[in-house]
Amino acid sequence: MTNRNPWGVLLLPMVTFGIYGIVWLVKTKEELKAKGSDIPSAWLLIVPLVNLLWIWKYSKGVEKVTGGSTTAGASFCLLCFLGCIGMAVIQSRFNKVTA
């Protein structure tokens, strides 16, 4: 996983009106897939209700890559309810995996 600054992941979506949040999800999805996770196309993010299934699959990938230190349920809740704060927390977990 690419080592990114969690503060950047937290603040850039606010500055770019959410665009960086989508870019972050797509880029980390590709990294998760390279590590063996099964995540569908990111185009599903724009389909209402189907995007929740995509986020769940992404969360399962987070659990797999972090070795269970961040569960799928926790990362799903972080992404759905806290948005860019949740992305920053997940990025800090990714940084621990690369360290």
pLDDT at residue 19 tops 90: yes
Mean confidence (pLDDT) of the chain = 95
Note whether 44 and 53 are within 8 A (CB): yes
Q: What is the pLDDT of residue 58?
A: 97
Q: What is the pLDDT of residue 99?
A: 62
End-to-end CA, the chain: 10
Mean pLDDT over 49-64 rounds to 96
pLDDT above 90 coverage of the chain, percent: 96
**DSSP code string of 6-38:** HHHHHHHHHHTTTHHHHHHHHHHHHHHHHTT--
Could you tell me the pTM of the whole model? 0.93
Mean pLDDT over 73-86 rounds to 96
pLDDT at residue 98 tops 90: no
pLDDT class for 1, splitting at 50, 70, 90? confident
Q: If 0-12 CB within 10 Å is exposed, 13-18 middle and 19+ buried, where does residue 2 land?
A: exposed
Distance of alpha carbon 58 from its chain centroid, rounded? Answer: 7
Q: What are the CA-CA distances from residue 55 to residues 15, 80, 98, 99 (Å)?
A: 23, 8, 22, 25
pLDDT at residue 48 tops 80: yes
